[in-house]
Amino acid sequence: MKQKKLLYTGKAKSVYHTDVKGTLIVEFRDDITAFDGGKKDTLMNKGGYNAGVSAFFFSCLEENGVKTHFLEMLDEKRMVVRELSMIPLEVIVRNFAAGSIVRNYPFKEGSPLKPPVIVIDYKDDSRHDPMLNDDLIIALRLVTPPELKRIKTIALRVNALLSGLLAKEGITLVDFKLEFGRQGKTIYLGDEISMDSMRLWDKKTGESLDKDVYRFNKGDVMATYQVVAARITKKQKSGAAKKAVAAPKNSKKRAR
């Protein structure tokens, strides 16, 4: 497969055309951003860790009947995917209160949300991704009512599968964001599922194992990503890297 012209550059990924109809190449770059692009850095190997974890999750989901855009990895950072017509929704599933819902509503950080709460934002940087509700989603004609129902069903299925998978590695899936797209009439899971798009807490220590380490300067971001990627995909490497996450700088035990 040959990589062709650049189609789109996002904050942390670039998407390219290929010589195979109906496919694209997603390159996971080493760029990391937070706070609507207000904080930016380039961290060596970050793209590879996120690509590896995304590929792993997409494969597990496919094995469990969830349709995703993932086809194969070309190398550590480049993923071949189905070309989708993306739906501008950010579908967030929350199992515990953290992040923006703690800032915006009277939830106590770490309190369980049972059943899980689905929040859907309008993906539009110029509007700062405002929160939608079902009526707005339908009025904006972003999806049809049956598609919205389907998207929520898939999001909850992904939540159940990934929560179970991560629990086995001693990790709590606090929340995560999904994006969907269509190929024909079929809805596929697109984008990525990685440390950039999930909130993960170590079950024993409560430490953050995700982009919150970068957002809030909680420790060595790349040491965390390296160990979490290895822990999730079970490719444990050096003992030193393991230690780096076991005791990140400024870490606080989270009461839960």
Write out the two tokens for 93: 């599933």
Q: Which of 69, 177 has the CB closer to ligand C5P? A: 177
Min separation Cβ 20 and ligand C5P, Å: 28
Site residues (vs ligand C5P, CB under 6 A):
90, 92, 99-100, 129, 175-177, 197-199, 211
Q: Which of 101, 148 has the CB closer to ligand C5P? A: 101
* DSSP class of 204: T
Q: Which of 69, 199 has the CB closer to ligand C5P? A: 199
CA distance 45 to 76: 9
Q: Which of 99, 116 has the CB closer to ligand C5P? A: 99
Q: Which of 92, 189 has the CB closer to ligand C5P? A: 92
Q: Which of 18, 27 has the CB closer to ligand C5P? A: 27
> Of 84, 15, 74, 11, nearest to 42 (Cα)?
11
Residue nearest to ligand C5P (CB): 99
Min separation Cβ 65 and ligand C5P, Å: 24
CA distance 254 to 231: 20
Min separation Cβ 5 and ligand C5P, Å: 26
Min separation Cβ 226 and ligand C5P, Å: 18
Please count the residues of the chain. 256
Min separation Cβ 146 and ligand C5P, Å: 25
Angle at 98 between CA 94 and CA 101, to 5 degrees: 80
CA distance 208 to 225: 11
Min separation Cβ 219 and ligand C5P, Å: 17
CA distance 31 to 14: 11
Residue with structure tokens 């509503």?
Answer: 105
Write out the two tokens for 39: 């904080």
Q: Which of 18, 97 has the CB closer to ligand C5P? A: 97
Backbone angles phi, psi at 131, to 5 degrees: -70, 140
Please state the three-class secondary structure of 6-59 as a single string. Answer: EEEECCCEEEEEECCCCEEEEEECCEEEECCCCEEEECCCHHHHHHHHHHHHHH
Min separation Cβ 21 and ligand C5P, Å: 30
